[in-house]
Amino acid sequence: MKAMVFAAGLGTRLRPLTDHKPKALIPVGGVPMLERVLLRLRAAGFRQVVVNIHHLGQQITDFLREKENFGMDICVSDERAQLLDTGGGIWHAREHLLGDDAPFLVHNADILTDIDLKALYDRHLESEADVTLYTADRKTSRYLLANAENRLCGWLNTQTNETIPADIVPTDARLTRRAFGGIHVLSPSVFRYMEQGKWQGAFPIIPFYLSICRTADIRCLDCPTHAWFDIGKPDALARAEAYVEEIGGEETS
């Protein structure tokens, strides 16, 4: 199984910690974020992994070399010339992600969670969807909107009341509000949609998903979890540190 880890972010919300170290190598409980994600992927059966780099990217390539890629087949997608955002990063790495027509999992390096990654991947295979998004009933200001079949239909910013698409009615009782968890599984069919229109260069993945959700099969899937942290923020990093200390670092295995 293949996966991609987003490790190219600037980490501006974690400054000054990220002034001289890439966000993906900031430790949580003494273990770099990237290492925690890679070890969880390995435990779930993923063996081929793409890691993208940009800010202080050489530190990440050196880290992977020192760790002997954790016994996995890891390649680097180099974005040091231009940071390509999440959607552009996937497109840029496509030659590493294609080849056997199998889906691949994408995981943000700054997401710490205990969800079952293999179960998420298997549910995607069973559904034969184009994309499966890990979502949760979690409070946020930006929600994905899904219908009764858990198909992605739109997006809502509760602070501005902006919706995508503009004609969707977020109060429609047939829609549920789901929070995206920074982990998704994509089938190779997604690249056909990226080849159309403006989806080249740097672009975020969620607006891309929203632009194709009326024709593509994009599912929202809630997964059982006891913990979820976006550790790209100082307050969440502190909470994640406390969580890891409480469980004794078990999620790295």
Question: Is residue 159 a part of any domain in this protein?
Answer: no
Question: Is residue 213 a part of any domain in this protein?
Answer: no
E strand or H helix at 249: none
Two structure tokens written together for 150: 């858990």
What are the angstrom distances between the C-alpha of 21 and each of 37, 38, 90? 17, 18, 23
Sign for the pseudo-dihedral over CA of 30, 31, 32, 36: negative
Question: Is residue 141 a part of any domain in this protein?
Answer: no
Q: What is the CATH number of the domain that holds 233?
A: 3.90.550.10
DSSP assignments along 85-154, one per residue: HHHHHHHHTHHHH-SS---EEEEETTEEE---HHHHHHHHHHHT-SEEEEEES---SEEEEE-TT-BEEE
Could you tell me if 33 and 112 are in contact, meaning their C-beta atoms sit under 8 angstroms apart? yes
The three-state DSSP-derived secondary structure of 14-65 is HCCCCCCCCHHHCEECCEEHHHHHHHHHHHCCCCEEEEEECCCHHHHHHHHH
What pLDDT, on the 0 to 100 scale, is given for residue 99?
78
Residues whose CB falls within 8 Å of the CB of residue 58, separated by 6 or more in sequence, listed in order: none
* Number of independent structural domains in the chain: 1
Question: Is residue 244 a part of any domain in this protein?
Answer: yes
Question: Is residue 55 a part of any domain in this protein?
Answer: yes
Determine if the peptide bond prior to 165 is cis (ω within 30°): yes
Determine the Cα–Cα distance for residues 241 and 27; give it in Å rounded to an integer.
9
Question: Is residue 152 a part of any domain in this protein?
Answer: no
Domain that holds residue 39: 2-134+181-198+226-252
* Residues forming a β-bridge with 219: 132, 151
Determine the Cα–Cα distance for residues 160 and 221; give it in Å rounded to an integer.
26
What pLDDT, on the 0 to 100 scale, is given for residue 248?
73
Two structure tokens written together for 28: 């949580």
Chain-centre distance for alpha carbon 43: 18
Question: Is residue 119 a part of any domain in this protein?
Answer: yes
Question: For each of the chain's 253 residues, which pLDDT tens digit applies?
Answer: 999 999 998 888 888 878 889 999 999 989 999 999 999 999 999 999 999 999 999 999 999 999 999 999 999 999 999 999 999 999 999 999 997 889 999 999 999 999 999 999 999 999 999 999 999 988 899 999 999 999 999 999 999 999 999 889 988 989 999 999 999 999 999 999 999 877 889 999 999 999 999 999 999 999 878 789 888 788 888 888 888 888 875 555 4
Question: Is residue 111 a part of any domain in this protein?
Answer: yes
Helix/strand/coil for 183: strand
